[in-house]
Each structure stands twice: as C-alpha cells, then as structure tokens.
Structure 1
Amino acid sequence: MIEIVPVLIYFFAVIDPIGTIPVFVACTQRHSAAERRKIALMAFLTSTSILLFFIIAGEFILTVMKIPLPAFQISGGIVLFLFALTMIFGEGKPGKEIRMMKSPREIAVFPIAVPSIASPGAMLAAVLLTENKVYTLWEQAQTAMVMVGVLFLTLLLMIMANVIIRVIGEAGASIISRVMGLILASLATANTLAGIKVYFAI
C-alpha cells in the first residue's frame, strides 16, 4: 500500500492543475464553450496517455539504455528542482507557455497537454514513483490511479476555468503556482538525496 497523500502532493505539484487554468483560458478565449470542453477533454486524454506510457515503459527504456535508476533519480531531482525554481522565481507557468501557442488546432496537444499538464517534471515523477524494485504491481497501479485522479481534477478545472479565473484572478493562480513550486523544490531535494543514498549503497 502506497502513502497516498505524499504521492498526491507530488503529482499535484508537478502537474500543477491550478497553473494550467490561465494557460487554458488564454489559449481558448476565442472558442465557444462546446469547443473549449472538447479541447479540455483532448488535452486530458493526451496527457494521461503520455504519463501512463512513462509509468509502463519509462523504466524499461532506461534499462535498455543502461541508465541506472539511482542516476536517473538524482538527475530527475535536479531537473525537478530547477523546474521548481522557475515556478517560484520565474514569470510563472502561464506566461511562458502561452507564448508557445502556435495555432488553435494545436492547442489541445501543445501547449495545454504538453508541456502544461504532462510536464517534464510529471514524466520524471511517473517513472520514479513506480520503480519496479521498490513498488509492487499493485502499488504501481495505485500510483497510476492517484495520477489519473489529479489529471481528472485538471480536466474539471479546465472545464470550469472561466469561473475559477474570475474568482482567484491571474494573480491568485500565480501565487498558488509559486507555493506549489516551493513544495516541489522540497520534494525534488528529498528525491535527489534518496538517489544519492541508493547510488552509493550499490
């Protein structure tokens, strides 16, 4: 049995459902309500498929490439930490990802699904939290269910985005994103230290 709360917090930090709202609103402001729902659903299905792929095949790919998981855990922790710093000190998730927008036909996949929802941090978390030597198949399934739960919450928030953004405002979304960045930085540090401990114990 996994510890659900830490896993939930980890995925909530790296997926950042709140930070996705301003991105979604900005990218879909010219679309009708029905089109926005379709874009939200497509983004949800795309990001879920990508992250489930990393849960299923991520560790296998590392094994084939002969990359030890502790090394990946250390590098992943460093990348997550740097990602967290951009959330805390940078311009924030909405600003940099809105600028990535190309055309309305692409927005469900890019930038909403990737990199806003299925971020590099989320992909790393999907691999690290389902390590075969540490977690049983049932525990990995539980982790996948928690992740899908966070993704489903993201879908609901995207569907309700216009109402939410009026309530908390872009400033509120930015504050929440920075708080989650601080939590993610702590998780990334713990992850790096755990990887170093395992690496030198081998």
Structure 2
Amino acid sequence: MLESFITAFIVYFVVIDPIGNAPIFLAVTQHLDRASKTRTALECSLVAFGIMLFFALCGTWILGYLSISITAFKIAGGIILLLVSLDMLSAKRQKRKKQGSDKATESAENVAVFPLAIPLLAGPAAITSVMVVSADLAGNAAQSMIGYGALGAVMATTAAILVLTGLAQNFIDTRIASVFSRVTAIILAALSVQYIIDGLLELRLVGIGG
C-alpha cells in the first residue's frame, strides 16, 4: 500500500508541478499583499483539489458512459503526458502558462480560480493523471482511498509551497525552479511511457521481455 501511495504521490506532484508553477503564482498575485497571497494560495489549491477529486470519483463512470475503455484511456493519457513532458523540457509549457497568466491577471476578479486553480494546477495533464491513477487503484476501497490520500497530500504540499513562495518572494531564484521543472519533466516522460506500455500489454500488442 505504501508503494501505491508513493507512486500516486509522485505522479500527481510531477504533473501539478507546484515548484515550477511558483514563479507564475508570484506573477499572477504580484498586485496582492502577503495576506492575500496566502489566502489565494490556499483557495486555489482547494479548488484544484475539488476538481481533480471529482474526476477521480467520476472519471471511470464518464469513460463508461462514452464507451471508452480504461486501456484506451491509459494509452491516450500516456501520449498526452509525454507531450506535456516534452513541452516542459523545452520550456514551451511555462511560456504558455506565463502568457495566459499575464492576460488573466488584468481581467479576472478571482485569480485563485482562474488561472491558478484552472488551468495551472488542475490542467489537462493533472486531470488525465488522476483518472488513470484512479482506474489503476480501483480494485478495492482501500486502494482507492490511498489514491485520494495521495492527491490530498500533494495538494496540501502544493498549498504549502505556494504560501511559502508568497512569503519569501524576494528569495526565489527562477533558475532553480526552472532546473527542477526540467528534472520533473524527465520523470513525467518515463511515467507516461510506462502508461503506454501498460496499455499495450493489456491489448497484448507487445510482449513481456525476459
């Protein structure tokens, strides 16, 4: 069970990428005071958690209603996550987020919901991951609770990182955050390839070496 928790935690932490999103959080909330930054960090993390928990609970039902198999979703999710990881490695994803954040800061009344909760934290990659991981852990109630617990732990960690970012904004080195984002991108790429391999194995399109 501990292994399942750690695996789910790593997947969620990588795709949500709270450290990589920390500089964007500062850019979006630059017009707020420290107290407001803290409140915004907590609120956006809570909203993102609610969105992803919804997909964790209802994602499988949605797939069934649309007649999409879990195997097909694993392969599709793996491909999507692989593309996201490649974007992260080339910094395209961060640039797109930053551009979207700049526009939203000028018009949105509540930046905690948009663009922070959606799509920075609960973006397509995170939603895809939570549905795939939930499907993997859907064997029994205990396994499912482990997945939900891992998601909650990651979102609590995300909230803490964003709160600390707001409090220590003068000491954040964007180069360190960029390096860490690249490292997490490599991990995400490996996990996404594993999703694809698992799906192909279930379809018996590839053999098991050994």
TM-score using structure 1 length: 0.92
SS of 1:106 mapped into structure 2: coil
User: Is 1:178 matched with 2:182?
Assistant: yes
1:135 to 2:136 alignment: no
Distance 2:184 2:202 in 1: 27
Aligned to 2:109: 105
Question: In 2 relative to 1, CA 69–2 (structure 1 residues): closer, same or farther, beyond 3 Å?
Answer: farther
Residue 63 (structure 2) aligns with: 62
Q: Which residue of 2 aligns with 1:46?
A: 47
- Mapped pair 1:156 → 2:129: no
Deviations 1:141-171 (A, max 9, x none): 1111111111111101111114555445111
Q: CA 1:46 to 1:162, structure 2 compared with 1: closer, same or farther past 3 Å?
A: closer
Is the 1:40–1:159 contact (alpha carbons within 8 Å) kept by the matching residues of 2? yes
Question: 1:49 offset after TM fit, Å?
Answer: 0.5
- Normalized against structure 2, the TM-score is what? 0.88
Kindly provide the amino acid, as one letter, of the partner of residue 195 in structure 2: N
CA distance in 1, matches of 2:124, 2:115: 13
Aligned residue for 2:20?
19
Amino acid at match of 1:19: G
Extract structure 1 runs of 4+ deviating beyond 2 A: 90-93, 132-135, 162-168
Contact kept, 8 Å, 2:18 with 2:161, in 1: the verdict is yes
What is the CA deviation profile of residues 107-152 of structure 1, one whole-angstrom value per residue up to 9, with x for unaligned ones? Answer: 2112211121112111111111111785312111111111111111
Q: Specify every segment of 5 or more residues in structure 1 that has no aligned partner in the other structure, as ranges.
A: none
Are the equivalent residues in 2 in contact too, given 1:92–1:178 (CA < 8 A)? no
Contact 2:165/2:172, CA 8 A, preserved across alignment? no
Q: 2:43 and 2:137 mapped to 1: Cα distance?
A: 34
Residue 204 (structure 2) pairs with residue 187 (structure 1) = no
Q: Is the 8 A contact 1:92 1:174 kept in 2?
A: no
Q: What is the number of equivalent residue pairs in this alignment?
A: 200
The alignment partner of 1:131 has SS state of helix
RMSD over equivalenced CA pairs, Å: 1.8
The one-letter amino acid paired with 1:96 is R
For 1:50, the aligned partner's letter is I
Task: Tell me, yes or no, if the aligned pair for 1:59 and 1:127 is still in contact at 8 Å.
Answer: yes
Distance 2:136 2:74 in 1: 13
In structure 2, distance between residues paired with 1:163 and 1:36: 8
CA distance in 1 between counterparts of 2:131 and 2:192 reads: 14
Question: Following TM superposition, by how much is the alpha carbon of 1:190 offset from its aligned partner in structure 2, in angstroms?
Answer: 0.4
Change in CA separation of 1:104 and 1:28 when aligned onto 2, cut-off 3 Å: farther
